[in-house]
Structure 1
Amino acid sequence: MRTMQNLPYEWLIGLRYTRAGKRSSRNSFISFISLISVAGIALGVAALIVVLSVMNGFEKKVTERMLSVVAHIEIFDARGSMPDWQAKAQEARRNPQVRGTAPFVETQGMLVNEDVMKPAVVRGVLPAMEGQVSDVARQMKQGSFDALQPGSSTIVLGSALAQALGLSVGDSVTLLTAAPAPAGQGGVTSTGTSSGNGTGIMPKPHAFRVAGIFEAGHFQFDSTLAFVSLEDGERLADVPAPSGLRLRLADIYAAPRVAVELKQGMTGDLYMRDWSQVNAIWFAAVQSQKHMMFIILAMIIAVAAFNLVSTLVMTVRDKQAEVAILRTLGASPGSIMKIFMVQGTLVGLLGTLIGIGLGVVVALNVDVIVPAIEHVFGVHFLDKDIYFIGEMPSELEWSDVAQIGGVAVLLAFVATLYPSWSAARLAPAEALRYE
């Protein structure tokens, strides 16, 4: 109580004005409008916190699953293959950020099982080294990744790809790759027309046995990616050596910088590609969506905050006699402004704190709340065929909470300026004339 008494009188009066008045129905109505303003700000703040947390969680979850298959950095040789990949791997490991290296070769083809045909990206790897740069061996649902031995003609498929083809471990599958048409035989040219002079291409079949099925949890890879041994990959791609190296780093966000360092420090005509370049469009789209959602939901907070304008204007009209008395007692226009600015800012602060509390609780429990809603209403919010993942993730970042809270309080403060200024301009004699 003593602390309250030590506050400036502007604060004391402003605090009293925020409490519900009981003298008239007008006071009660003003207090009701204030509660609506508080609720509007709270809901806007909570919605913004939850939405940004879900988008952060979505980005983090997809990135984690993506990088369980995608290398942090890929190194290619301008010659088209890298016969000295062991030496290049040793050079790359000199960088302290590099934690693992593995050779690879990549090609594309069509997997065929009976009358079903699916496109696939086929990656040739060394099973003994692949664990240094990806988590595929730990993501096996059936079979063994180590079965990809040289000359074994075995293949490991993504779970969605295997399901689409109707395959399980031990089944046979045909892989069609593009090959030049033999001399004197017709093929298909690059424009899609038939060629009878052997200058086109034709599909070349390769028989494989399914040795395993993996599930990365990222639909794009589970539905398109297949692994074979490095030797089989070289045969499919018709290259004498691996296409390049795949690297894993200690800090994934250092990949662009490390790629530049490796380019400068390694010998040969090499091309570096980091994971952010491989998926640049996707990450740019996510960031753009986050910024747009922040702007849209901040406008909702602004609408709720500017409800304070009408609330304070009504309060000024209701309290004009008291304002006039304060002015006759020597209160300056600046002091009158402070009274109503305190009142409006406290309403905005209260709404912001309630919204932060509500938003944080929901954001931290999205993994419980969303499945419960899906179960009750029989709906599913995320189709993994579209969104890559099937569950609603959430990643609360306190920097977002602080930013959202600051914006909400600032908007509430701005909303107090005009009503407070109009109260300071009241003429005491005019205000008391009809009292």
Structure 2
Amino acid sequence: MFKPLSLFLAFRYIRARQVGGFASFISASSTIGIALGVMVLIIVLSAMNGFERALADRLLSIIPHGEVIAVNEPIVNWRDKAKKIITHPDVIASAPVIKLNGMIQHKAELKSLEIRGVDQTLEQQVSAITDYLIAGQWDTLYSSTDPSQSQGIIIGSGIAKKLGVSLGDKIQLLLPASDINQGLSVKFPTPKKHNLMVAGIFKFGGIVDDNLAYISLAKAQDIKQLSPEQVDGIRVKVSKVFNAPSITRDVAYSFDHYVYIHDWTRTQGHLYNDIQLVRMVMFIVMVLVIAVASFNIVSTLIMVVNEKRGDIAILKTMGAAPSTVMIAFVIQGMMNGFIGSLSGGILGVIIALNLTEIFAAIETFFGVTFLSGDVYFIDYLPTQLVQSDVIATIVVALIMSTLATIYPAWRATKVEPAAVLGQI
């Protein structure tokens, strides 16, 4: 079968190099280095993709994607405004909210927290908080007879643990006094007290469990002395969470009220930024590892060129073009990059697809917990393999390994037949 001379020479030299020697060791080390670099980079990128997906699917399932909060006067006729917001093509749902900051007390224990007054039905359209209830029912937050007198409150598991309360326990909600005259006449204004009952406990993970509680919208309106048509703000759920800032701005600009514009990147954006920073740093580090391994090919080919100086001289004497000699050594060096990239890519894909299970097995074997649900919003290592990441990693490795072959192959074309053959 006909073979181009360059390809024939390349494979002949590769087979001869496999016999042994120091050049074979350097060649194998470069191949292994490229494979490890490609494998680790694919695994790291998959883990970062997994964290991004977990951030979008889990944390942002109860953290509002966007909010428009009234600056001075409360929002009036919130139902009409919520319906208008939904007409935006990128808004999935909207719901009213009233925000309160205070403390809850049970016996001698106190805990500061943020209380959200929410609508029973609409809140479930913008938040998945009901999926994380571990005690009680969402519906018990409301009173069917007189909504404004609803005594139920749903708290996070961290708050319940701090106060030592469980389902059905009575607690007191302490809010700052809003009476201006009292604030002027009394040095330490007496906080307003509201008696509530624990109607539910949720467990989400992270600091959310320690800082967040829910009461009914009607109860929050009663506390702040608002009418049923008045709220502090409206929350929105968007179709593309990473475009939430621009979508929320569009909603606010079309809003006929003076409002603050909030989105999840202002409260939880540091998590996303951290993920992107780690992703970029790890990509640079692993590319440098691949580069170091690739440039081992330079050493290998230079040694091969020195060994084959006689062969090169004879080939050039017989009329072989310099391009033929150069391509032969380029192909020989590219084989290291091809084998390393392919094997590293296959191993990286296999490990990335099973990274969560492997991580869990390591935790079980050593009896340690690397990601605690009490600190982070997840207690496992997520993974998501993206085809473009695999392709980009392999292509980068192939390009770098190919570039590493150019100089040694060019050196091979500079062998002078007369000088070499005269020494034989």
- TM-score relative to the length of structure 1: 0.88
**What letter is aligned with 1:366?**
L
Maintained 8 Å contact 1:148/1:229: yes
The equivalent position to 2:293 in structure 1, one of 293, 298, 304, is 304
Aligned residue pair count: 417
**Partner residue of 2:12?**
16
Instruction: Please state how far the C-alpha of 1:226 moved relative to its aligned partner.
Output: 0.6
Partner of 1:164 in structure 2?
162
Q: CA deviation at 1:361?
A: 0.3
Query: Residue 57 of structure 1 aligns to which amino acid in structure 2?
Result: G
User: Which AA in structure 2 matches 1:414?
Assistant: L
CA distance in 2: counterparts of 1:368 and 1:389, whole angstroms: 15
Q: What stretches of structure 1 of length at least 5 have no aligned partner? A: 188-195
Q: 1:352: Cα distance to partner?
A: 0.4
1:42 aligns with 2:35: yes
The letter for the 2-side match of 1:130 is E
Residues of 2 paired with 1:80 and 1:344: CA distance? 72
* Structure 1 residue 329 corresponds to structure 2 residue 327: no
* CA pair 180-85 structure 1, distance change in 2 beyond 3 A: closer
User: Equivalents in 1 of 2:268, 2:82: separation in Å?
Assistant: 24
- Match among 195, 217, 222 for residue 207 of structure 1: 195
Give 1:229's aligned residue.
Answer: 216
Q: What is aligned with 1:193?
A: none
1:262 aligns with 2:251: yes
Give the superposed CA RMSD. Answer: 2.4
Counterpart of 1:375, as a letter, is: T
CA contact (8 A) 1:68 1:134 kept: yes
Residue 53 (structure 2) pairs with residue 60 (structure 1):
yes
* SS, match of residue 67 in structure 1: helix
Asked whether the 8 Å contact 1:128–1:146 carries over to 2, the reply is no
- The offset of 1:254, in angstroms, is 4.5
Amino acid at match of 1:206: H
Matched, 1:93 2:101: no
TM-score (norm 2): 0.90
Query: Quick check: 2:207–2:375 contact (8 Å CA) kept in 1?
Result: no
On the 8 A contact 1:101/1:129 being kept in 2, the answer is yes
Check 1:168–1:424 CA distance in 2 against 1; reply closer, same or farther (3 A cut): same
Aligned equivalent of 2:400:
411
The answer to whether the 8 Å contact 1:306/1:412 transfers is: yes
Match of 1:124 among 117, 121, 125: 117
SS in 1 for 2:110: strand
- Matched residue SS, 2:122: helix
* Equivalent residues of 1:82, 1:243 under 8 A apart: yes
Determine the C-alpha separation between the residues in 1 that align with 2:185 and 2:331.
87
- Return the alpha-carbon distance in structure 1 between the equivalents of residues 161 and 94 of structure 2: 31
Gaps of 5+ in 2: none
> Residues 330-345 of structure 1 correspond to what in structure 2 (within 5 A)?
330-345=319-334
**Which residue identity lines up with residue 225 of structure 1 in the other structure?**
L
Matches of 2:189 and 2:105, distance apart in 1 = 18
Where does 1:338-377 land on structure 2 (aligned, <5 Å)? 338-377=327-366
Q: Helix, strand or coil for the counterpart of 2:21? A: helix
User: Residues 127 and 414 (structure 1 numbering): CA distance in 2 closer, same or farther, change over 3 Å?
Assistant: same
Q: State how far apart, in whole Å, the 1-side matches of 2:18 and 2:134 are.
A: 69
What is the distance in 1 between the residues matched to 2:322 and 2:224?
A: 82
Q: CA deviation at 1:20?
A: 4.8
Distance in 2 separating the partners of 1:431 and 1:116: 91
Partner of 2:121, secondary structure, is helix
1:116-155 map, 5 Å: 116-149=109-142, 150=147, 151-155=149-153
CA distance, structure 1, for counterparts of residue 387 and residue 49 of structure 2: 12
1:328–1:66 CA distance, 2 compared to 1 (3 A) = same
Tell me the equivalent position of 1:395. Answer: 384
Residue identity matched to 2:207 = Q
Measure how far apart 1:40 and its partner are: 0.8
Q: Which residue of 248, 260, 274 maps to 2:237?
A: 248
Residue 380 and residue 432 in structure 1: after superposition, are their counterparts in 2 closer, same or farther (change >3 A)? Answer: farther
User: Residue 156 of structure 1 contacts residue 211 of structure 1 at CA under 8 Å; is this kept in 2?
Assistant: yes
Identity of aligned residues (%): 37
Please state how far the C-alpha of 1:199 moved relative to its aligned partner: 6.0
Q: Cα offset for 1:163?
A: 2.5
Q: Residues 231 and 305 from structure 1, CA distance in 2 versus in 1: closer, same or farther, beyond 3 angstroms?
A: same
> What amino acid is the match of 1:13?
L
Amino acid at match of 1:228: I
Q: Which amino acid aligns with 2:169?
A: D
Tell me whether 1:287 sits opposite 2:293 in the alignment: no
Say if 2:56 and 2:241, in contact at 8 Å, map to a contact too: no
The one-letter code matched in structure 2 to 1:160 is G
Taking a change above 3 Å as real, the CA distance of residues 81 and 215 of structure 1, as seen in their structure-2 partners, is: same
* Rounded Cα–Cα distance in structure 1 between residues aligned with 2:226 and 2:271: 31
Q: Is the 8 A contact 2:62 2:127 kept in 1?
A: yes
